[in-house]
A = this chain, B = another copy of it.
Amino acid sequence: MKVVKIGGNVVDNEELLAQFCMQFAALEGPKVLIHGGGVMASRMQEKAGIPPRMAGGRRITDDATLQIVTMVYAGWCGKHICASLQALGCNAISLSGCDADVIRASRRPPIAVEGEMVDFGHVGDVRSGSVNADALRRLLDAGFVPVLNAINHDGNAHLLNTNADTVASAVAAALGAELIICFEKPGVLLDKDDDASLLRELDSAKYKELLSEGRIAGGMLPKLENAFKVLAAGVPKVVIQHSSAPLGNSGTSLCL
């Protein structure tokens, strides 16, 4: 079983998305896709005259913003990806957490971010216990490939905006599946400007060594932190790789 995650940068780029869909359709065995859409949501917010407000990297989600992110993630992105996969013979089914009750989130209470209390509005948190693994398995058993966005529900008719990375980790943990995280680089690079410095494998000992040497920085830091947390939570394998490369056989393979 494989859980694959693509971010908003891939979803927002026609060419990257088409290349990724080819790879995802070709991936054998049971699989689940989780996609973002944040780049497109921000653009749609600007268009609607509701500029995005972020705190600690998360989108503050008032009523109008919830409507926009739901329309963008679950409407445009989800259905566009699903139709593309169907055209490639992959029997995709695009779902939010309310669909088949696959994921319930809990509304995040106001919390301190950088010393200030922030009410994130309709933002939810997802944990491994939030995932209805039985519903996902029934869909997989019926021959469908779940494609999940980060709009989830609380079970009381409210939609909540959650984080696609956290959803991917929770789904992989709940299904005991390998997690493949796709982005716009070939994997973990020792020198971010040199693709040849790709690490094929990275275990936690080597990770700590690189960390102490200050050789992991920038956007890779939270990605690896999250990946090792996911491994510690019982996910058997995490791969970080380019979204256009064959899935699972390229990039950096992480283990404890």
Contact = CB atoms under 8 A, between A and B. Distances in A.
Contacts of A82: 96, 98-99, 153
6 contacts: A72-B75, A79-B159, A82-B98, A83-B158, A87-B157, A138-B143
A141 to B, nearest CB: 8
A86 interface: yes
Given A95-B93, A101-B91, A155 B75 contact: no
Contact of A70 (B75, B95, B151): B75
Contact of A99 (B73, B92, B153): B92
A111 interface: no
A78 B83 CA distance: 17
Interface string A137-155: 0110111100000010101
A61 to B, nearest CB: 14
How many copies, total? 2
A177 to B, nearest CB: 20
Nearest to A47: B48
A205 to B, nearest CB: 44
A86 B157 CA distance: 7
Interface of A: 47-48, 67, 70-76, 78-80, 82-84, 86-87, 91-96, 98-101, 138-139, 141-144, 151, 153, 155-159
Contacts of A143: 138
A65 B71 CA distance: 13
Contacts of A138: 142-143
A121 B6 CA distance: 30
A86 B105 CA distance: 14
A151 B99 contact: no
Contact of A92 (B91, B98, B156): B98
A256 B93 CA distance: 37
A87 B142 contact: no
Given A93-B95, A159-B79, A72 B74 contact: no
Contact of A83 (B72, B73, B141, B159): B159
B86 A153 contact: yes
Contacts of A91: 100-101
Given A79-B159, A86-B153, A94-B96, 14 more contacts: A48-B48, A70-B75, A70-B79, A71-B76, A72-B75, A74-B78, A79-B96, A83-B153, A83-B157, A86-B155, A87-B157, A93-B100, A138-B143, A139-B142
A26 B245 CA distance: 48
